[in-house]
Amino acid sequence: MDAAPYVKGDRAMVPIRFIAESFNCKVDYAKKLVNIKTAPLVIENKQVAKMTRTSTGLEYIDIYEMKANLFVKNMYQTIFNQHGPEVDEPEYYGVHVNLDPLVYYWNGNDDYTLLDANDKVVGKFVIYEAIGNGLPRPEDCPKYLLYDDLTEKWYSLPEATYALMQRGNWTATRYGAAGYDNAWQLVEQ
């Protein structure tokens, strides 16, 4: 099955094995299927098997499972290399919008967890959005906060970084790097 790259009709034809091995992947052919196995993903000396993103609604919980190493690594780097400075824990935050003048609200869509091969949590972060309940947000209050659950630290999160994450989530879902694990399960009331 090995072949050298060649030109055909003004196009470079490159075997999958050549591309995969260029990126330290193993290629296996079995039963007319091509399997490309990547090296284990290691982030901060911890092996990561997948990232999950939880999305909730009134009567359902979606858990997106992202197993593509490149996507998980890029999402992690986007969040942890592009977050703002550490900030104090906000006075009001949670999962319910209330009537306080400024509250940071988890909208049910931005809960990310890094898991190892045994589904043990090796990293977890949650994004909260400032809700002013009709009042303007003070300039010194960031629109988004990032909470690192393992270190119990809060960081500001620039709006551009948040937008980049949302674009990455959409792209991963569209191109198959993310899939539903437990889609549309009813929440116990």
pLDDT reported for residue 88: 92
Is position 185 within any domain? Answer: no
pLDDT reported for residue 153: 95
Q: Tokens for 163?
A: 């937008």
pTM for the full predicted model: 0.71
Mean of the pLDDT values across residues 151-175? 79
Q: How far is it between the farthest Cα atoms of the chain?
A: 66
Based on the fold, state whether residues 25 and 112 are members of the same structural domain: no
Confidence of residue 104 (pLDDT cuts 50, 70, 90): confident
Is position 187 within any domain? Answer: no
Question: Per mean pLDDT, which of 58-72, 93-107, 136-150 is the most reliable?
Answer: 136-150
- Could you read off the pLDDT of 64-78 as tens digits, one per residue? 777 777 778 888 888
Is position 172 within any domain? Answer: yes
Based on the fold, state whether residues 32 and 119 are members of the same structural domain: no
Based on the fold, state whether residues 118 and 141 are members of the same structural domain: yes
Half-sphere exposure of 134 (CA within 13 A, CB side): 3
Based on the fold, state whether residues 150 and 167 are members of the same structural domain: yes
Is position 21 within any domain? Answer: yes
HEC secondary structure over the chain: CCCCCEEECCEEECCHHHHHHHCCCEEEEECCEEEEECCCEEECCEEECEEEEEEECCCCEEEEEECCHHHHHHHHHHHHHHCCCEECCCCCEECCCCCCCCEEECCCCCEEEEECCCCCEEEEEEEEEEECCCCCCCCCCCCEEEEECCCCEEEEECHHHHHHHHHHHHHHHHCCCEEECCCCECCCC
Is position 17 within any domain? Answer: yes
Query: Residue 173: left (phi > 0), alpha (psi -120 to 50), or beta?
Result: alpha
**Average pLDDT score, the chain:** 77
Based on the fold, state whether residues 17 and 67 are members of the same structural domain: no
Is position 81 within any domain? Answer: yes
Is position 29 within any domain? Answer: yes
Instruction: Find the domain containing 18 and state its range.
Output: 6-37
Confidence of residue 121 (pLDDT cuts 50, 70, 90): very high
Based on the fold, state whether residues 18 and 51 are members of the same structural domain: no
- Could you read off the pLDDT of 4-63 as tens digits, one per residue? 788 888 888 878 777 777 777 777 778 877 777 777 888 888 889 888 887 776 566 777
Instruction: Give yes or no for residue 149 having a pLDDT over 70.
Output: yes
**CA–CA dist 151, 166 (Å, integer):** 24
Is position 136 within any domain? Answer: yes
Percent of the chain with pLDDT over 90: 11
pLDDT reported for residue 87: 93
Based on the fold, state whether residues 33 and 54 are members of the same structural domain: no
The total domain count for the chain is 2
Based on the fold, state whether residues 148 and 166 are members of the same structural domain: yes
Mean of the pLDDT values across residues 70-88? 85
